[in-house]
Amino acid sequence: MDTSNRAFKIAIFFILFTLGFLLFLVMALKIIIEDRKLPSLIAQDKNRAIRGAIVSADGYQVAYSNKLYKVEADTRCIDPKKRELFIKLFSIYSGIPQKRVRKILRSKRGYVTLSYNIDTKTAYQLKILSRKLYQMDMFIPYKIGNRVIKQGLTIMESGETRVFPYHDILTPVIGYNRKKEIGTYTTIVGVKGLERYYEDKIAPRQDGIIKGKRDIGNNIILNKEALIKKRIDGYNVHLNVNMLLQKSLENILDTHREDLDAKEIIAAVMDARSGKILAIASSNRYDPKRIRKRDYDALNAKFVEYTFEPGSVMKPITFAMLLEHNLVSPLEVIRGYNGRYMLGKKPITDEHKFDWLSAENVIVYSSNIGIAQLAQRLPYTIFYNDLQKFGFTKKTGIDLPYEHTGSIPAIYRFKSEIYKATVGYGYGMTATFMQLLNAYNVFNSDGFLLTPRIADFLSQPNGKRIALKGGKKEQVISTKTAAIMRNILKKVVQKGTGTVAKIEGLEIGGKTGTAHMAVGGRYVRRYNSSFFGFANDDQSRYTIGVTVIEPKSRYFASQTAVPVFRDIVLELINEGYLHPTSSGE
């Protein structure tokens, strides 16, 4: 009996011991695997890199990035007796109205976000405030289970914002951005313009990281074991564009657009010897931070994204081909047919009625009949290939995204007299503004086709310069042919269709072009008018282009594009780019 009781007691003890041991193991395992919110022995501080800036030639930052910070608070940790004091102090330091702060704090119990858009300076001030509030015992602890929590203001990086301090200046060239969320952090990505073209250069290079063991004050111990990666922001893009000239050009276009009731006017000034774009403007601009529905059409950079039939500005290019292949003499006589000529069944007419005129006067007085006859001398393969040499059907390589190439007829169509004639005076083909500007620069750069460039160089945050890849330089026509063409284009301004552009003391030349617009395969009474040319003095050469899109009050280029060109040249004089000689030309 005693033996059986003893065995029973031992069994009960063993079972209880086993259960107790199993319970111990379960609790120990739970403690091991449960997230106990213990502070890590390793701390990490991340310093996010930001996009580089876009800087004008005269040192103005036309676009740059600022960091944004998020500020949070735990309403359970704010002493109820000091709540109003907290609201007043936070409002003073943050600039957020007291009413708004009070509303946020009342919205829920626990963690609340007081702001997502605190700038760097304000974030620094709020960090100072946070320390002061601790010293004032503004925050009190509370318990969750066995944990005691005392949390003050939490200030952390939430993203970056792009700043355009001059609003619509240099748009649409500068472009705009969209936000991209990476976790809880907001980054910026270029969508159009320079912001898009230089995305891989301007984007943040490397976030800064400091990681290591922490001390009792939760500060990272900077010893040999600590990991330190330097923050490297994106490269800055430095432009050839001068802000004073750019603003002046935009003002000129705005004035003429209103006067002409035009849909849009675009213009650019290029340094003829280097291809540097000193100013490039549109009358249709927008604020990249406040894009509205009515701005949508202006988002596209018409300089490279709009193709049109150029009209008579193509005549000098056709003439240059003839000169280069010794197929015309400037002083030979061409029949004008008194302003009306039948090419097969196609009638060709002129505004100026001539019985006879010199070959160079075909350009000076913009004779469709004259160039239609001269174009027939070009073998079809040479005509087609030389158009490509001048840059048509190809991208110019300018540093803007989404550049179009325009179009010319297929090579076999140049066997047709009609196609030779119409392309010769700028119909039956399309081109972009930048292709035409670049083609005219061939005349002003002694026969070379250059790559136009808006940006000059890159720089690192430490100021070190990084050269951009050089553009092409291809000889299209001889120096002699280029000089003859400059001389003929000067006569256009002296006595032809471009006399409004004449300014004593400067070498000015160019060509007008007024082209019907085709809508639905038919030409309508809507026009694009252009003037492409140059303005030179003894030291400098500038190639200038103007295109007026759909002017309504008047449409001939001599009345629309040429006056804009003249005002641009006068501004170049005013700002010291050009210096007229006192003796004249």
Counting beta carbons within 10 angstroms of the beta carbon of residue 135, is it exposed (0 to 12), middle (13 to 18) or buried (19 or more)?
exposed
pLDDT score at 585: 43
For residues 561 and 261, the answer to whether their CB atoms sit within 8 Å is no
pLDDT score at 220: 62
Closest CA to 91 of 80, 79, 81, 103: 103
Report the C-alpha gap between 21 and 171 in whole angstroms: 75
Report the C-alpha gap between 103 and 107 in whole angstroms: 6
Contacts (Cβ under 8 Å, ≥6 apart) of 335: 355, 356, 373
Token code pair at residue 368: 């469709």
Closest CA to 451 of 427, 468, 426: 468
Neighbours of 29 (CB within 10 A): 10
For residues 138 and 77, the answer to whether their CB atoms sit within 8 Å is no
Using only C-alpha atoms, the chain has a radius of gyration, in whole angstroms, of 36
The residue type found at 443 is: F
Report the C-alpha gap between 373 and 376 in whole angstroms: 6
pLDDT by residue for the chain (585 residues), tens only, comes to: 566 677 666 767 777 777 777 777 766 666 555 544 444 566 666 778 899 999 999 999 999 999 888 888 888 888 888 889 988 998 999 899 999 989 988 888 888 888 888 888 888 888 888 888 888 888 888 777 677 777 778 888 888 999 999 999 999 999 999 998 888 888 999 999 999 999 999 999 988 877 776 654 455 666 666 677 888 899 999 999 999 999 999 999 999 999 999 999 999 999 999 999 999 999 999 999 999 999 999 999 999 999 999 999 999 999 999 999 999 999 999 999 999 999 988 999 998 899 999 999 999 999 999 999 999 999 999 999 999 999 999 999 999 999 999 999 999 999 999 999 999 999 999 999 999 999 999 999 999 999 999 999 999 988 899 999 888 899 999 999 999 999 999 999 999 999 999 999 999 999 999 998 988 878 888 999 999 999 999 999 999 999 999 999 999 999 999 999 999 999 999 999 999 997 544
Q: End-to-end CA distance of the chain, in Å?
A: 138
Domain with residues 67-162, CATH architecture: 2-Layer Sandwich (3.30)
Local structure of residue 538 (DSSP, 8 states): S
Report the C-alpha gap between 386 and 363 in whole angstroms: 19
For residues 289 and 164, the answer to whether their CB atoms sit within 8 Å is yes
State the angle between helix axes of 380-389 and 315-324 in degrees (0 to 180), rounded to the nearest 10.
110
pLDDT score at 30: 62
Neighbours of 131 (CB within 10 A): 11
Report the C-alpha gap between 519 and 503 in whole angstroms: 38
Report the C-alpha gap between 229 and 437 in whole angstroms: 47
Closest CA to 368 of 244, 253, 516, 261: 516
Closest CA to 350 of 431, 361, 186, 185: 361
Contacts (Cβ under 8 Å, ≥6 apart) of 33: none
Token code pair at residue 6: 């003893």
Task: Give this prediction's pTM.
Answer: 0.85
pLDDT score at 208: 81
For residues 443 and 486, the answer to whether their CB atoms sit within 8 Å is yes
pLDDT score at 32: 56
- For residue 269, what is the enclosing H or E element? strand 264-271
For residues 241 and 280, the answer to whether their CB atoms sit within 8 Å is yes
Report the C-alpha gap between 350 and 570 in whole angstroms: 32
Token code pair at residue 375: 């174009």
pLDDT score at 409: 95
Report the C-alpha gap between 452 and 462 in whole angstroms: 28
pLDDT score at 217: 45
Report the C-alpha gap between 407 and 427 in whole angstroms: 11
- Is the peptide bond between 288 and the residue preceding it cis, with omega within 30 degrees of 0? no
Contacts (Cβ under 8 Å, ≥6 apart) of 48: 67, 157, 160, 185, 204, 207, 208, 231
The residue type found at 175 is: G
